[in-house]
Amino acid sequence: NAGVTQTPKFQVLKTGQSMTLQCAQDMNHNSMYWYRQDPGMGLRLIYYSASEGTTDKGEVPNGYNVSRLNKREFSLRLESAAPSQTSVYFCASSAQRGPDTQYFGPGTRLTVL
Amino acid sequence: AQSVTQLDSQVPVFEEAPVELRCNYSSSVSVYLFWYVQYPNQGLQLLLKYLSGSTLVKGINGFEAEFNKSQTSFHLRKPSVHISDTAEYFCAVGGNSGNTPLVFGKGTRLSVIA
């Protein structure tokens, strides 16, 4: 039981490049989330998927897209990376939508030059 | 809409001393409250949560928190800290209706000094 896994762990991009961050969970959870963490800003929700087949914007969705590929997988895509997207990205999942315990992945550290 | 305020961004404390990390929330509905811990270069782990019932909640690693509805607070406490408690701590709130995700505070960095 690996919980929530994220790939890659580290990534360096040049401005304008694109990439997809992958997230998978093996807990049969319905809901999945993408956050970014920046110093002094805490965790900010980018997008979430309350259940398979649905996605919703969070607090800071601009510049990102997501895909809930199936119940296990939820990917985050940066179409044209910008230096402001330099951050640590966390994926999380929860059994139910709403105020349920979230389980976090180890994070992806992204640097955009 | 819910919101969370963690009143201290950094808390230094000597080893074996008690510590309190403060969290206040705002919500128009009944709430669920959570504390998470993040050790360096790791993801967040659940410390404890309040859903209903007893207002004093005990979590892992000797931490506890008390839900105070009148003061809209959910402060985290530990009577004696260890070096290994050095980490960032996040308070989070969720409403008990709808599918709105948790709202996290900005975090409090606890530094335990030997």
Q: Report whether pLDDT(B101) > 70.
A: yes
B39-98 pLDDT tens trace: 998 999 999 999 888 889 999 999 999 999 999 999 999 999 999 999 999 999 986 655
**Cα dist from B69 to B22, B31, B93, B98, whole Å:** 14, 10, 13, 21
Q: Report whether pLDDT(A15) > 90.
A: yes
Q: B29 or B26: whose pLDDT is higher? A: B26
Query: Chain B: nearest CA to A40, how far in angstroms?
Result: 6
Q: Is B10 on the interface with A (CB under 8 A)?
A: no
Average pLDDT over residues A54-70: 94
Backbone dihedral angles phi then psi of residue B41, each to the nearest 5 degrees:
60, 30
Which residues are within 8 A (CB) of B23 and not within 5 positions of it... i.e. 6 or more apart? B4, B5, B6, B7, B33, B35, B73, B74, B75, B76, B91, B105
Which pLDDT score, from 0 to 100, does residue B27 have? 79
Average pLDDT over residues A5-19: 96
Which pLDDT score, from 0 to 100, does residue B97 have? 59
Q: A86 or A98: whose pLDDT is higher? A: A86
Confidence of residue B18 (pLDDT cuts 50, 70, 90): very high
CB of A3 within 8 A of CB of A62?
no
A45: nearest CA partner in chain B = B103
Strands in chain A per DSSP E:
4-7, 10-13, 19-25, 31-38, 42-49, 56-57, 64-68, 74-78, 87-94, 103-104, 108-112
Average pLDDT over residues A28-48: 93
Which pLDDT score, from 0 to 100, does residue A90 have? 97
- Concatenating the DSSP letter of every residue in B60-84 gives GGG-EEEEETTTTEEEEEESS--GG
Confidence of residue B2 (pLDDT cuts 50, 70, 90): confident
Tell me whether residues B99 and A4 touch, CB distance under 8 A: no
Which pLDDT score, from 0 to 100, does residue A97 have? 77
Residues from chain A that touch B44, judged by Cβ atoms under 8 A, are 43, 90, 92, 102, 104
Confidence of residue A96 (pLDDT cuts 50, 70, 90): confident
Q: Is B58 on the interface with A (CB under 8 A)?
A: no
**Chain mean pLDDT for chain A:** 94
